[in-house]
Structure 1
């Protein structure tokens, strides 16, 4: 006969502070993201607010660090400025006037798009307009605007 398994409900519940800290151990989160995740786990609103305030005071939670991490992750994935701004907005973070890298240097989006297209399609120029359009759609889906795409892709 197998022994009965204990359910997860038998365990004492972690505090909202401990749950948020565990989430922050994995990656940076914005205040809004943590609020949503803790509410999803059915913590009371007042406990969530107190936990987030304590995390900010302890230096564990920073929307600025979360924004920098989000931009860096978007750049690593080859996302353009439009896509990164959208991701920041969804996380409840301000995109600011210009998206910049960690060191505050402005990003050359044309060069970034050119390198991404070269990595995907190779260094040869597109043979015809159809091939050029295919590359342009790829970059557009990544969040690059049409002006940047025209500058980044060589004409067929």
Structure 2
């Protein structure tokens, strides 16, 4: 019969530091990772609190990093908000990160559509619907989608 030896605080801190060295995390994400690796909830909360106190974990900084990363990959604001919530960032910090980055979502949608929709026949309603669904699925709002479609249409007219 093998009894599980309770893991100590130094082991938990070492695990957290190794984890944070390899991947930036939010508070909730770090706590979940600690618990998945056998540290109890109380120990995880203590480690997260110490990491936060030391500045190793900062949900605001993490939210900004996520916003920049997702925007670089041309995801829209709705998708970014969804991912922030999924990663445990509260709505206030998420909105602050979105505002701090000052991203032109209209231009982002148009840029993505210019690459993916190049050569598409925008006069065909099926093609327009497909491109609209693609942008909506990436998290753009309907007004941003319309703007991107109009920009692509203008670009195609200018090329003719």
1:97 & 1:16 partners in 2: Cα distance? 31
**Bigger proportion of residues as helix:** 2
Unaligned runs of 5+ in 2: 154-160
Contact 2:66–2:84 under 8 Å retained in 1: yes
Q: How many residues align?
A: 143
2:149 & 2:24 partners in 1: Cα distance? 34
2:141 & 2:98 partners in 1: Cα distance? 14
TM-score with structure 2 length normalisation? 0.79
Does residue 137 of structure 2 align to residue 145 of structure 1? no
Contact 2:60–2:97 under 8 Å retained in 1: no
Match of 1:45 in 2: 41
Q: After the TM superposition, which segments of 4 or more aligned residues of structure 1 sit over 4 Å from their partners?
A: none
Secondary structure of the residue aligned to 1:15 is: helix
What is the CA deviation profile of residues 71-103 of structure 1, one whole-angstrom value per residue up to 9, with x for unaligned ones?
Answer: 011112211000000000011113226723xxx
Unaligned runs of 5+ in 1: 1-8
- When the two chains are superposed, the root-mean-square deviation of aligned CA atoms in Å is 2.4
Match of 1:5 in 2: none
